[in-house]
Structure 1
Amino acid sequence: MRACTAADVELLAALEPAGKNYARSTFRRQEHGECVLLVAWLGTTPVGSGELEWSAVPELKNLRVAERWRGRRIGTALIGAAEQQSAAAEAMEIGVGQDNPAARRLYERLGYAPTGRSETFSYHYIDNQGVRQAATEAVDYLRKRLGSASPLI
């Protein structure tokens, strides 16, 4: 588990569908101090990632674990790494899609509690076949007080 390095970017980008450009654009944001792209590795294989965006309350976004590696505590490890990176902050937030109850259960098990804030986003993305798609997603935000097991709402 480590922050993405310049040497990692092209390997990560090569694994993306054509036109996605997530690794490169997020790494540029990391270089500008806006976020850190955390990457989970098994040997030389990236198996998951999460984008920790710096704000008054740091937010972990785009948490992903490759499907074949799910259920092996990689998501938990990524969240732990994000919490360590955010240790100077009072709390950390994670947004979870309302259609993703498994992720929500994980976050709540790790001490995250609903803030009462929800948002709906419409956006475009590049799917695994390299095709541009439109999506609308409803997200609930959960927050955890850092350095303590009790949630901060």
Structure 2
Amino acid sequence: MTDTAKAAVADAYQELKGVLARKYAHVDIAMVEAEPGSLARQEALDTELVELGAGDDGELHGAVEQILRVVRHYSPQAAEPMGVQERFNLGSIITLLRAAAADDNPWIMVDLGRLLEDLGELDEAETWYRRAAATGDTDAVNNLEILHRKRGEIGDAEP
């Protein structure tokens, strides 16, 4: 990941953390940052944010969308091997996106799917594409079809 990409992702991530600190001060994102690979910690954070109604928070969605724009801009670098700092920031971002997508926002679900696909997490990417496609999102249907073609699974793209 280039220094410019690292700085852009770090800036967007700090903005997101600022929104969380200001509006959801008791939510402990540090637990995911400390162990980004821990599914239990990711699920705990997801659950806590969903229970607090973070999925309906426009400011939080804006911060998440900014991260998505930055990651999408630098997506060729997103899948490159990264250092520990970048990996746990990306892991935290993905966890927060999962929480935001839980509110059935198809735009976030599609972008989360794209990010996961870029990172090689094809099964989870497919899950998010299918959820977005079920809302009628045409980008999700197209991405699902492309994913199935990549896998050689033509005909399995229905939501």
- Tell me the TM-score normalised to structure 1 length: 0.35
More strand by share: 1
More helix by share: 2
